[in-house]
Amino acid sequence: MPEQNITQQKFNRLIESKEWFNQSDSVVVAVSAGVDSMALLNLMMNLPKNNRPEIIVAHVNHHLRAQSTEEEQYIRDFCQSHNVKIEVGNWEEQFHPSNGIEMAARKYRYDFFSKVMKNNNSRILLTAHHANDQAETVLMRLIRGSFVKDLVGIKESRKFNDGRLIRPLLGFSKKELTHYMQTLSIKWYEDDTNQKLDVTRNRIRHRLIPFIEEENSRGVEHVNDFSYQLNSMKKQNDFFFEKLAKDIGIDTNTFELVAFLELPDYVQTGLIDYLIEQYVVDGLNVDIVNQVTTLLNNDEKPQGIVELSNNLVVKKEYDKFLFENINQNQITGFKNDYFVVTLNKWYFEDDIQWMITDYFNVSDDEAKRVSRFNLLDSEFPLIVQKTQNRDRITLKNGGHQTAKRLFINKKIPVDKRHSAKSLMTDQGRLLAVLGYSESVSIDNSNARVYTLIIK
């Protein structure tokens, strides 16, 4: 039996068993012109008629590479020759940001997919993530440091807008899909940026995955089996955390603090992680969960907030805590109290932008100030609060300068002094009066380096 038929039959059985869609549905397929998405498109086109939905191809030209226009034309021609509907989004160069371009490109891409779904009354989006992508994701999260639950990797199906985002190829290897396309003699394009080893995922793809497959030809499959088992364990845990959340809940979004603090530390961490996941679709890292539990356990701070996203916070209010939608101005002006800083996130304060990051060798050509701090884990979470005159900046000679003297020396207007914010460790050490001055970092071999960027 030809190899492509084996792959096609495997795909056919999967679609029939999952019942994600039927013949009368419209399904949006994200296609980049790479081998993975072209394989997905052809597998969908070759489904048995009784299981084959209407297919709408969604292609994004990011205008990031010279061959992007050629790829777009190829996809257009392919779809026209096979009578498949196509919609193309163009992310013009004038809208490319100076930093964070990968994240911005992803946002544009998925916003466009959402628009295509709406235009075509579709509730299903398919993407071509496959078994190697899954293994890379699991390994990358393991290396970077994640909760065990995050090692489940990429979800096969999840909510997306008013429908579902489905990844039907997670059980198919890269090698399998490439061979399928070769036997069909269908052209695809290679993205040369996937070969660059300055990206973590590419190093895992080109160095670690081949090593694993050399050690065991089924190594990628075993990584994915491990991920599947973890996913089953996570579902078991979520079942009990849902019951626990109801036990300490005052209403849907508000919870009793005293009852929460009676729980063992390891249960507190798991419960907060579970609750955050109910509100934030893509999840957050370990640091965020630790910041929330630290705030809730801090008797000296009866009020405070931890920002989860641009408009969602966990708020502590004396004997309760709650999840609340709140705008950025409310966050920075919350009763002159502090808010907890999220690493690797840009903040906007008056006329400056700033971020503190743990990324190694970070730089920003547009930055007005870049400072590095050696910080211990015990100094987290970092806090921003209204600057007090007595706040003290650490100088190069080991001495200190108060914020009041700093403002006088720099001739800062009174209204600017009143709105100034200080970045501090959880132990009260001042790192910076944001936009005005930073403390000189203390060398410590046990500490990690964090970078403050101000624009």
Nearest alpha carbon to residue 43 among 166, 215, 199, 195: 166
Q: What is the CATH number of domain 3-224?
A: 3.40.50.620
Give mean pLDDT, residues 304-319. 82
Q: Which long-range contacts (CB under 8 A, 24 or more apart) does 189-193 make?
A: 189/33, 189/34, 189/67, 189/70, 189/71, 189/74, 190/34, 190/35, 191/32, 191/34, 191/65, 192/65, 193/64, 193/65
Full 3-state SS string of 310-342: CCEEEEEECCEEEEEECCHHHHHCCCCCCEECC
| CA distance linking residue 171 with residue 164, whole number of Å | 18
Cα radius of gyration rounded to whole Å, the chain: 25
pLDDT tier at 64, thresholds 50, 70, 90: confident
How crowded is the C-beta side of 372, counted as CA atoms within 13 Å? 12
* Most confidently modeled range among 71-80, 99-108, 287-296: 71-80
Q: What is the pLDDT of residue 352?
A: 81
Q: Which of 120-134, 246-260, 288-302, 339-353 has the lowest mean pLDDT?
A: 339-353
Residue 276 or 333, more confident: 276
CB under 8 Å to 93, separation ≥6 — which residues?
Answer: 63
pLDDT of residue 366: 60
pLDDT computed for residue 370 by the predictor = 85
pLDDT score at 330: 43
Per-residue confidence (pLDDT) for residue 427, from 0 to 100: 77
In this prediction, residue 90 has a pLDDT band, given cuts at 50, 70 and 90, of very high
Cα dihedral 348, 353, 357, 362, rounded to 10, equals: 160
Q: What is the rounded distance in angstroms from the CA atom of residue 455 to the CA atom of residue 421?
A: 15
pLDDT digits (tens, 9 = 90+) for 129-186: 999 999 988 888 888 766 677 777 888 998 888 899 999 999 999 999 999 999 999 9
| Confidence at residue 79, expressed as pLDDT on a 0 to 100 scale | 96
The per-residue pLDDT for 350 is 66
Q: Give the class (CATH, top level) of 249-340.
A: alpha beta
Mean pLDDT of 40-68: 94
pLDDT digits (tens, 9 = 90+) for 182-217: 999 999 998 776 666 656 778 888 888 889 889 998
**CA–CA gap between residue 268 and residue 293 (Å, rounded):** 7
The separation between CA 242 and the C-alpha centre of its own chain, rounded to angstroms, equals 24
Domain ranges of the chain: 3-224, 249-340, 347-454
> 383: helix, coil or strand?
strand
